[in-house]
Structure 1
Amino acid sequence: MNAELPRFDRRRLLGAAAAGAAAAPLLAGSAGAAGPAGVPAPGAPGKGRAVVPGADRAAAEGWSALSGERVGVITNPTGVLRNLRNIVDEMHESGSVQIAGVFGPEHGFRGTAQAGGSEGTFVDERTGLTVYDAYGANVAKMTELFNTADVETVVFDIQDVGSRFYTYIWTMWTAMQAAVASGKRFVVLDRPNPVGGTARGPMMTAAYTSGVGAREIVQQHGMSVGELARFFDGEFLEEHAGGRLEQLDIVEVSGWKRKTLFADTGLDFVLPSPNMPTPDTALAYPGTCMFEGTNLSEGRGTTKPFELIGAPFVDHRWAAALEEAGLPGVTFREAYFNPSVNKFAGEVCGGVQVTIQDRDRFDPVRTGVEMLVTAKALYPEFAWREDSWDTERPFWIDKLTGSTRLRTQIDDGASGAEVEAAWREELAAFDKTRRKYLIYR
């Protein structure tokens, strides 16, 4: 990793880091008045007054950070202001931003596609803007899209959920490489990490990189997307893109601290994807998403994805064993469910409902590991998912966790504590490296 600090133009790095009071003048108008596009000024009553996302701060300044340039916007339904209107709609109607094109990630710009899908390229009915399909695009394709749209500045505004295997951060990574290749300015309208600023879990290794983990970061990275952009620029772009961004600007969140979870921000939670309905889903996801790599259902096709986990062969013993483990901040209810789609669609599954009782004490990765260990020990039918399309790396769990280590340890009978101990040093090293890229203290 490159120890050199990232380069920014500090005159254009907007916002005060963690001090909400220092950030207030950026949004201040007349006392109690709304800013441009109906954005509430700090101190106005209602939700979200304490934590102000970067998009709201940019809107309150009349989008001046983007004026005079042809802008390409990478966003989805989570790219909203506190009035819950999409930033593209607001930018377009303001007349202050020249939008050259919109770029849709997985699930699409308007969010109509399911997991692993996109909306394709189309003309948006509301704005008349061309929306380009960026999901799955490699660097060459993304560069082509930016050049086709004649973009000068790339803007990224998507609510991440803090897990390495959530694909939006890798759309950003690809876009950053394309911005290097085509000499574009890159701007992140930052948002809080909904699961907080703590890093957890194993490191991705180069041999197992994929669309659910393209670079070497840990499973729960503990950074905002703005911080991740700084990390990517400082640690990876030189090696993988042949250079660094000519200009990286972060419009910072005001009022967010690293220990603040989404439930405490006062902001409305907009589904980042169809199977991420609540902040508690996001909290569980860094651990329970590992069940995608098994033959158990991770709850897709239920009203509690990633909180209901099970299979037709699972019975009451799993919940009892997990309760006996005494994991902090979480309880396990014996549950039965019938998924409407995905694994075991139309079949009754036995399993558990993961209920987070204390968000501050809950450790999703530790919880997910213990769930895997006990399921493997209890049920001979338990198996790791194998993908026929990747004969050299067939096990999906290896791509999710970053190597073969977790799978082979559990197969060899390791305890949850032994599995966790194996990544302690690499987690500490990552935590040390990322510190110089953190914005919020």
Structure 2
Amino acid sequence: MKFLKNIQKLSGCLAAILTNQSAFGYNGKYHFQTYSEIFKLKTIFLPEHGLFAELQDQVSGDQLSYLFGNMEIVNLYGKEETSLVPPRKSLQNIDVVIIDIKDVGSRYYTFLTTAYYILEELSKLKKETGKAPIFLVIDSPNPIGSKVEGSPLLETYQSFVGVKSVLHRHGLTPGGLLTYYNETFQLNVDVVIVPVGIFHPLKTSSFEWVPPSPNIPTQNTCFVYPGMCLLEGTNLSEGRGTTKPFETFGAPYLLGDAKNELDLRMKNHQRGSFLLRNLRFLPTFHKYAGIICEGYQLIVVKPKQFHSLYFALYFLKQLNELFPKEFEYLKGVYEFRSDRPAIELLVGDPFLLEYLYGKHSDSEVETYLLENETSWSKQIKPYRY
């Protein structure tokens, strides 16, 4: 990886930036404001949710409007799939594309997929013209550390919520993952990493957490998200419309003897690494808005031992057995793809999908996950620092 510790060396360069409110500095300024004092900032690329995370998931940013001097605002999450790729003219006649946006450590999280699409376009531009802007990544810590979970996403399941070959919980920083893309897929872009510490202390507490998107309100949310995001592909509420999305989840039909049996089965799963608090909740929007749901709060007690993906897979498998008439996997368009249901795009692995339908034992899936996680950890060693 190429590192640059003094960003002033690029002073005066024409630049475009992918960023949002998560890039906020100790001096009380958003980083794009600081960059405008260093670079000739020409374009701001907007990710999903907008510059200040105003919009909910899967809501087009075409409605957003900002005015920052003469800067061009380019929305990279519109109503059509083509909007996800930056227009070629926005990448021409600039020296640097800056990526300064926080990740939460899961492959579903779309910000680094947007960055990957920019990286791909720079690669195409370089092949066609012989040159392309520098891809400058302002790197920040992974909020859930270097632990990994899951299995590689197969190419047939690739979508905006997952780039091929990456695990569900990848264990890399933005700079590490984007360098992995550049080298593994032979994109040959000039990727340069700058530690975020030049703008903000690297060791920050959870009290300084800036929500990168509307439904990641705390750092704790990031620990459950690698598994609980799977609930987006089901008729369970993943807690959107509550104050603790992904930590709060359930549905109106979780009642009766089947619910009691579900409680018992979950109590014996990954014993000691989490607690499940039974509760009722009323989503104010999204699934079951205005309807009382029976469900849980997921409380992670031992983050190093808790396996969020396996928790979610196991939970969904039990639901499929105990609530066969009520529980469903959703169909229809999800993140611009309609050829596969959301659960397939999120899980991204035939073996794990078969497990959800009872075709593999718990011990088999545990072994499978461990093998894939060990392999991935070896593969990404060059991209950790």
Which moves more between the two structures, 317-326 or 426-435? 317-326
Structure 2 letter corresponding to 1:407: L
Which moves more between the two structures, 222-231 or 125-134? 125-134
The CA deviation at 1:209 is: 0.6
Which residue of the partner structure matches residue 386 of structure 1?
331
Which residue of the partner structure matches residue 295 of structure 2?
351
Match 1:425 to one of 371, 377, 381: 371
- What TM-score results when the alignment is normalised by the length of structure 2? 0.87
Structure 2 counterparts to residues 134-153 of structure 1, below 5 A? 134-135=76-77, 141-147=85-91, 150-153=93-96
Structure 2 counterparts to residues 217-296 of structure 1, below 5 A? 217-236=166-185, 238=186, 243-245=187-189, 247-253=190-196, 265=205, 268-296=208-236
Which residue of the partner structure matches residue 344 of structure 2?
398
The CA deviation at 1:286 is: 0.2
For residues 374 and 175 of structure 1, do their structure 2 counterparts lie closer, same or farther at Cα, with a shift above 3 Å needed? same
Aligned-partner SS, 2:150: strand
- Whether the aligned pair in 1 keeps the contact of 2:176 and 2:383 (CA below 8 Å) is yes
Which residue of the partner structure matches residue 24 of structure 1?
none
Superposed CA deviations along residues 369-420 of structure 1, whole A, max 9, x for unmatched, are 2222222232222221222685642x21110011333232221354444333
Distance 2:275 2:110 in 1: 29
For residues 125 and 99 of structure 1, do their structure 2 counterparts lie closer, same or farther at Cα, with a shift above 3 Å needed? same
For residues 81 and 65 of structure 1, do their structure 2 counterparts lie closer, same or farther at Cα, with a shift above 3 Å needed? farther
Q: Is 1:340 matched up with 2:314?
A: no
- Whether the aligned pair in 1 keeps the contact of 2:172 and 2:383 (CA below 8 Å) is no
Q: Is 1:101 matched up with 2:43?
A: yes
- Whether the aligned pair in 2 keeps the contact of 1:329 and 1:356 (CA below 8 Å) is yes
Aligned-partner SS, 2:297: strand
Match 2:98 to one of 155, 163, 175: 155
Q: Kindly, what percent of the aligned residue pairs are identical?
A: 29
The CA deviation at 1:122 is: 6.7
Aligned-partner SS, 2:305: coil
Distance 1:178 1:282 in 2: 29
| Gapped regions of structure 1 (runs ≥ 5) | 1-7, 16-60, 256-261
Which moves more between the two structures, 275-284 or 177-186? 177-186
Distance 2:366 2:339 in 1: 26
For residues 224 and 138 of structure 1, do their structure 2 counterparts lie closer, same or farther at Cα, with a shift above 3 Å needed? farther
Structure 2 counterparts to residues 57-96 of structure 1, below 5 A? 63-92=7-36, 94=37, 96=38
- Whether the aligned pair in 1 keeps the contact of 2:85 and 2:118 (CA below 8 Å) is no
Aligned-partner SS, 2:26: coil
For residues 391 and 78 of structure 1, do their structure 2 counterparts lie closer, same or farther at Cα, with a shift above 3 Å needed? closer
For residues 104 and 319 of structure 1, do their structure 2 counterparts lie closer, same or farther at Cα, with a shift above 3 Å needed? same
- Whether the aligned pair in 1 keeps the contact of 2:230 and 2:312 (CA below 8 Å) is yes
The CA deviation at 1:365 is: 1.5
Q: Is 1:132 matched up with 2:89?
A: no
Which residue of the partner structure matches residue 4 of structure 1?
none
| Gapped regions of structure 2 (runs ≥ 5) | 126-131
Which residue of the partner structure matches residue 42 of structure 1?
none
The CA deviation at 1:248 is: 1.2
